[in-house]
Amino acid sequence: MSLPKTLAEDVARNLVMVARLIDEDPEQAYAYARIALRLASRVAAVREAAGFAAYATQKYAEALAEFRAAKRMTGSVELWPVMADCERGLGRPERAMAMAGEPEVQKLDKAGQVEMRLVAAGARRDMGQIDAAIVTLQSSELASNAVHPWTPRLRYAYADALLAAGREDEAREWFAKTVEADKDGSTDASDRLAELDGVEFVDALGDDHDDADEAAEVDADDEGSADKA
């Protein structure tokens, strides 16, 4: 749908702000998304942006409604995994599992299919089915040595599920594999690995400050004693 130039520019400015703020200030991003939605609710990109802004602020019912609207407008299935995750957020993991078995999943690209696998595994865990979650994550993508943008998250989810199942040695192995793939530090796998290895991090700066404070107190005491003498 085309918009008048001035209106299109206003909508674009708000969408830019949504993209800029959604990670650091999701509530503000949501506010900009609502403005864009009021200006151009019949534009699929606006509905999608509004959906992600609502999702980032855990307004899952609203996010799901926007994603469904965007899907109807475009006919694309790329939002299917995040729609399923909204069902999880609404406390309906069984619906997320049902979506994982729908024909739409076969139309997703590789990244989308991996994302759907992550959502399905999360739904299994929501239902207390930890062993099933582990099996759900086991795939050719997990076994591959190739590193893709989704590799760290997939390996991390598998490691975390193994740890939840009490399989600590295997979990440690997969957290280590996550660290190898996670060059950008998008997960806290290195911290989880250190925790499993019993490594404790000391705030050296904090210790220095404590030592300095103690020294200052001693000096003050010494000065007080000298004055009394």
Quick: pLDDT tens for 123-137.
Answer: 999 999 999 999 999
Choose between 228 and 149: higher pLDDT: 149
Asked if the model's pLDDT at residue 226 lies above 50, the reply is no
Does residue 152 have a pLDDT over 60?
yes
Pair of tokens at residue 222: 């010494």
Please write the tens of the pLDDT for every residue from 46-93.
999 999 999 999 999 999 999 999 999 999 999 999 999 999 999 999
Look at residue 212 and tell me whether its pLDDT is greater than 70.
Answer: no
- CA dist 173 and 72 (Å) reads 43
Q: Which of 13-27, 31-45, 150-164, 196-210 has the lowest mean pLDDT?
A: 196-210
Tally helices (H) and strands (E) across the chain: 13, 0
Q: How far apart are CA 86 and CA 3, in angstroms?
A: 30
111/162 Cα distance (integer angstroms): 23
Q: Return the higher-pLDDT residue of 174 and 217.
A: 174
pLDDT at 229: 44
In this prediction, residue 5 has a pLDDT band, given cuts at 50, 70 and 90, of: confident
Q: Over range 167-194, report the average pLDDT.
A: 95
Q: Is residue 148 scored above 90 in pLDDT?
A: yes
Is 176:193 a contact under the CB 8 Å cutoff?
yes
Res. 198 pLDDT band, cuts 50 70 90 = confident
Residue with tokens 């050296």: 204
Q: Which of 32, 1, 3, 35 is nearest to 17 (CA)?
A: 32
Residue 171 has pLDDT above 60, yes or no: yes
State how far the Cα of 140 lies from the Cα of 128, in Å rounded to an integer: 25
Tokens at residue 128, please? 């207390």
